[in-house]
Amino acid sequence: MPYIYRFGKIVCAILILCLVVIPSGAASEENAKSAAVIKTRLAVIPFMAVEPDNASSTTVRCPLCGNVNSGGPVAEGAQINLEEIFTDKLMGLKNLEIISPERAAGAYRRISSASLKEPMLKVVCKAGRELGADVVAAGFVYRWRERVGYSYSAKTPASVSFEIHLISVRDESILWRGVFDRTQKSLMEDLFQVSSFFKGGAKWVTARELARLGVEEIFDTFPGFDH
């Protein structure tokens, strides 16, 4: 009898251990899976064209951070082109949820029109909080000159200058800044551009194609997300 009693106690202990440990392990595994699918919510506010104050000036100041950049005439619709290129690139990143561009644009325009005296950084973060975003992307086009000519022979090459920021909504800090400023040149003019020249198909590219190359370039330093 003592042996049967002792064996019974051991069996009960094992059963209790299984009931406690196995569900706990299963729960831990489930929690790990849940943590793995958590995504950062990102809102892209409408990109903006920022041109020099007068025809004699060749520089512009970033409305968000105040940095001075090279600028020039901006073709109509350039900011829309750049925003599309940038957003398309974001779609290829993991652990990132893109908030509807229409929602982001509506929230930003409404809040900015009601906060004209506030710094742009404050307005951007206000919009981000309303949208439930973790981070907000804001972009500025400083120069967008279209190619004059053809892919095999250009009288005037494409020229593009832009800046994109990634901003933390929580503490209103700038997490990342990507800047691109390029006027396409022939290989004879500038051998240092040989890599981008061949990335563009060894031809004279359009402003949109040059901007796409620029977005690819700045994404080499884009933080925090798996490609």
CATH code of the domain occupying 38-221: 3.40.50.10610
- Look at residue 185 in the predicted model and tell me its pLDDT: 75
* Amino acid residing at 213: L
- Look at residue 226 in the predicted model and tell me its pLDDT: 57
In this prediction the pTM is: 0.78
Sequence ranges of the domains in the chain? 38-221
Q: Kindly list the distances between the CA atom of residue 188 and the CA atoms of 33, 110, 165, 181, 216, in Å, as whole numbers in the listed order.
A: 55, 50, 34, 20, 24
Backbone angles phi, psi at 117, to 5 degrees: -90, -5
Q: Kindly list the distances between the CA atom of residue 149 and the CA atoms of 38, 146, 156, 209, in Å, as whole numbers in the listed order.
A: 48, 9, 7, 15
Per-10-residue mean pLDDT, the chain, length 227: 42 36 47 61 97 90 95 96 97 91 96 92 97 98 90 82 97 96 69 54 85 95 72
Question: Which has the closest alpha carbon to 169: 220, 217, 104?
Answer: 104
